Structure 1
Amino acid sequence: MTERLPPLPHAAYAWHYETAPRWADSDIYGHVNNVTYLSYFDTAMNIALVEHGALDLSASASAPIGLVVQNGAQFFREITFPASLSVGVRIEAIGRTSLTWGFGLFDLGAGACAARGRIVHVYVDRASRRPTPLTAELRHCAEALFRDPANDTEETS
């Protein structure tokens, strides 16, 4: 993420996952460690995939898997323990073999976007690890979660 992204409102995201920081997520400075934000994004993304029928976690699964080829976050406000959080999830771009995921981390107590993140997944064959076209399930999930970044309006606080 090279450009500076503004905080977005809760409604900019198609799907939401509620979570809370653990005591162990806090660093020596008393706030949730930056790397933990990426963990929140990754967890929300995978739960969204499961709930939309696009990720089979069984041992016999044969569908493509998503490999992270890029990720990052921009921070707007600190989060401290305890807190109630919501991770907003959306798809920002749909490629032939890839999805660009967008995230907003919201501190529900403060009612504000604390961070934005992005993960780019390239979907590959499980055995060969070569890129493969999105399955019908992945495309359906992507279309359900898609929000065009061109339509973004900044959060007003």
Structure 2
Amino acid sequence: MTAEAEVAAPTPSADADPDGSYGRLMPVTVHFDDLDSLGMLHNARYPLLVERAWNELLHGYGFTFDGDWAAAGDFCNVVRELRIGYEAPVARPGDYAVHLWVERLGTTGLTYGFRLCSADGGTTYARGTRVLVRLDADTLRPTPWSERFRACGRELLRSAD
């Protein structure tokens, strides 16, 4: 059996959300230098693409960070947990997407789900969750999300259905 035959081909996702009923599909680009020596997207690049997509999403809602943590507001947050499962290799550079949605919106914490997928959202390469905790810039202790941020988060909530 060849190495190519052992690598599973990506398959359409059962929860791909082709009708756009939850979350947001954010375009990302995989570059040649994101690939490892086997010609596949390096495992460390998946979370980087997700981070970039999340930041673009927040920028779209008008949240910005200019380097001043005291003024950063909701951008002053830390990652508490990151879980990712790799389902199929991304084996070429090009246009892809990250599907983002909110799983849980707490007072000081937020869990969002993500899928690295084809540009149309139909094929999933990796999926996971990331837990963020909002911090007070002075004390570095958890502090509540702003109401503005919470309103945006509610727009992205995936229903329990």
Instruction: Specify the TM-score bucket, using the shorter chain as the normaliser.
Output: 0.7 to 0.9
> Pick from 70, 73, 81: which aligns with 1:63?
73
Unaligned runs of 5+ in 1: 1-5, 152-157
TM-score by length of 2: 0.80
Greater C-alpha Rg = 2
Find the residue that maps to 1:142 and give its secondary structure: helix
Instruction: Give 1:102's match in structure 2, choosing from 97, 101, 113.
Output: 113
Count, aligned residues: 144
Match of 1:136 in 2: 147
Indicate conservation of the 8 Å contact 1:97/1:122, yes or no. Answer: yes
1:116-127 equivalence runs, <5 A: 116-127=127-138
CA distance in 2, matches of 1:33, 1:123: 29
Decide whether aligned partners of structure 1 residues 92 and 109 sit closer, same or farther in structure 2, where only a CA change above 3 A counts: closer
1:126 to partner: Cα distance:
1.1
Query: Is the Cα contact below 8 Å between 1:97 and 1:132 reproduced in 2?
Result: yes
Structure 2 unaligned blocks of 5 or more: 1-12
Kindly indicate whether the alpha-carbon contact (under 8 Å) linking 1:13 and 1:103 is maintained by their aligned counterparts in 2.
no
Q: Percent identity?
A: 26
Letter in 2 for 1:31: M
Aligned-partner Cα distance in 1 for 2:119–2:33: 20
- Let me know the Cα RMSD of the aligned residues: 2.0
Displaced runs of 4 or more, over 4 A: none
Residue 74 (str. 1) matches residue 81 (str. 2)? no
- Change over 3 Å in CA distance of 1:139–1:16 after alignment to 2: same
Aligned-residue offset at 1:72: 1.9
**Whole-angstrom CA distance in 1 between matches of 2:117 and 2:135:** 31
Amino acid at match of 2:16: P
**Is the contact made by 1:91 and 1:102 (CA closer than 8 Å) also made in structure 2?**
yes
